[in-house]
Amino acid sequence: MALWICCRYAVMIPRNLDLFNLMLPAIDVRQARKRYGQLQALDGVDLRIEQGEFFGLLGPNGAGKTTLINLLAGLALPDDGQLSVLGHDVVKQYRASRRLLGVVPQELVFDPFFTVRETLRMQSGFFGLRHNDTWIDEVMHHLDLTDKADTNMRRLSGGMKRRVLVAQALVHKPPVIVLDEPTAGVDVELRQSLWRFIQQLNRDGHTILLTTHYLEEAEALCTRIAMLKHGRIVALDSTLNLLRSLAGCRVRLKIAGYLPATLLPQVVEQAEGDYLLTLPSYQALESMLAELRVAGTTVQEMTLQQPDLEEVFLRLVGRTVQ
Ligand SMILES: Nc1ncnc2c1ncn2[C@@H]1O[C@H](COP(=O)(O)OP(=O)(O)OP(=O)(O)O)[C@@H](O)[C@H]1O
Ligand SMILES: [Mg+2]
C-alpha cells in the first residue's frame, strides 16, 4: 500500500516541485473579494485546488472567472481575502507565486516586432532562464508551431497567436497552469493536439485550472468543477457528482395508450405517442414505469439520454448574462 502511494505520487510530482510541497494546495483562495466601482466582481470566493488536479472554472460571461485568474496572477489586487499558489501568497510573495504559475490569458496580447522564437526566449528571460531552447523547441513541437518559429507575431493568424500564448505560459515549466479560454477561436485539430499536450502535462503532475465556455470540453477533461455566478461559487464538486446529482436523466418514450396526468409535468417535448421526459433521478424511472403499467399503457420504445454538463450549468447558473 505504502509503495503504491509512493509510486502514485512519484508520477504526480512535477520536476520542479519538492516533496515538502506535496501537502500544500496548488491554489488556495479564501474569501476573495474584488470590486470595480459599483460592481462586486468577486464576492467572497473560497476555492482549494489540490496538486495534480485538472480543475474547471465555469460560469457565464461576467461571472468573475478572469478576475479571479487576474488576482492569482498578480494582475489585479484583491480588496479582501487571501490567495496563494503552492503556499505562496500572491500579494506578499508575488515573485515566488508568479514563478509557480503559467497563465494563458483570455485576451490576445502579443508584441508585433518579434518572431515566435524571440517571443518565447524573451518570456524565458522574464523568469531568468537563459538557455531554454530545448524546452522551447519541445513546446513549439507539441503546439505545432515549429514551422512558424521564425515568423513574425503580427503575421500569425488568430489561432496561431493563441498557440504562442499557450507556449509563453509554459516556457518556465510552471507546476500550476491556468488556461483562460485557451480554445476560443481555435480550430478542431489544434484543440485536440492542445488537449493531448495539456493532459500529458497533467499526467506529469502539473495542476491545471481551465476556464472554458465549451462545456463538453470541461466535462471530458476536468475531474472537478466550480461554477461561478455573479462573483460567487454556486457549485463545487466532482464532475461525476455534478452530472449525477443535478442533471437527473432524460427518457424518450414511444407508447401505445395515454400518458398518465401525473407524468405530464415532466414532459419536455411530445409528438404523437413520442414523449421526452426529464426525471429528477434514475430512481424515478421505476415509478414512471409503474404508473404506465397501472394506466395500461405499453412502452414500445424507450431510450435513456445521459445528462450532460450543459444541463447542469443551465440549472445552476441559468441562461441569464450579467
Ligand atoms: N478592469 C475592470 N474594470 C471594471 N470592471 C471590470 C474590470 N474587469 C472586469 N470587470 C467586470 O467584472 C465582471 C467580471 O468580469 P470577468 O472578466 O472576470 O468575467 P468572466 O467570468 O471572465 O467573463 P467571460 O466569460 O466573458 O470571460 C464583469 O462585469 C466585468 O465587466
Ligand atoms: Mg473571462
| Rounded alpha-carbon distances, angstroms, from residue 173 to 15, 116, 123, 166, 278 | 9, 18, 12, 12, 46
Whether 226 and 255 share a structural domain = no
Whether 224 and 282 share a structural domain = no
Q: Does the CB atom of residue 67 touch ligand 1 within 6 A?
A: yes
3-state secondary structure at position 265: helix
153 located within any domain = no
Euclidean distance between CA atoms 79 and 94, whole angstroms:
16
- Rg of the chain taking only CA atoms, in angstroms: 24
Q: What is the pLDDT of residue 6?
A: 40
The HSE-up count of residue 266 (CA atoms within 13 Å, CB side) is: 22
Tell how far CA 145 is from the center of its chain: 24
Q: What is the pLDDT of residue 247?
A: 57
Whether 17 and 55 share a structural domain = yes
Euclidean distance between CA atoms 219 and 216, whole angstroms:
5
Cα 61 to ligand 2 centre (Å): 7
3-state secondary structure at position 160: helix
Substitution candidate for ligand 1 out of 29, 34, 36 with most atoms within 8 A of CB? 36
Whether 263 and 278 share a structural domain = yes
Q: What is the pLDDT of residue 75?
A: 95
Substitution candidate for ligand 1 out of 42, 45, 66, 233 with most atoms within 8 A of CB? 66
Q: What is the pLDDT of residue 310?
A: 79
**68 CA closest ligand 1 atom index:** 18
Nearest residue CA, atom 25 of ligand 1? Answer: 61
* Residue 33 contacts residue 42 (beta carbons within 8 Å): yes
Q: Which of 197, 220, 243 is at the close of a domain? A: 243
Whether 85 and 17 share a structural domain = yes
**63 CA closest ligand 1 atom index:** 21
Nearest residue CA, atom 12 of ligand 1? Answer: 41
Closest residue by Cα to residue 268 from 293, 255, 249: 249
- Residue 213 burial (CB < 10 Å; 0-12/13-18/19+)? middle
Q: What is the pLDDT of residue 100?
A: 95
Whether 193 and 96 share a structural domain = yes
Q: Does the CB atom of residue 75 touch ligand 1 within 6 A?
A: no
Q: What is the DSSP string of 132-183?
A: -HHHHHHHHHHTT-GGGTTSBGGGS-HHHHHHHHHHHHHTT--SEEEEESTT
Tallying the residues shown for the chain, one arrives at 322
Q: Which residues 6+ apart lie within 8 Å of 132 measured at CB?
A: 120, 121, 124, 171
The three-point CA angle 214-216-219 to 5° equals 115
Q: Which residues 6+ apart lie within 8 Å of 189 measured at CB?
A: none
Residue 18 sits in a domain whose CATH number is 3.40.50.300
- The values of phi and psi at residue 300, to 5°, are -95, -35
pTM, full prediction = 0.81
Per-residue pLDDT of the chain (322 residues; tens, 9 = 90+): 444 444 433 334 444 444 446 789 999 999 999 999 999 999 999 999 999 999 999 999 999 999 999 999 999 999 999 999 999 999 999 999 999 999 999 988 888 899 999 999 999 999 999 899 999 999 999 898 999 999 999 999 988 899 999 999 999 999 999 999 998 878 888 888 889 989 999 999 999 999 998 988 999 999 999 999 999 999 999 998 888 766 567 899 999 999 999 999 888 888 888 998 988 777 888 899 999 999 999 999 999 877 778 777 877 776 443 3
Boundaries of domain holding 15: 2-100+174-243
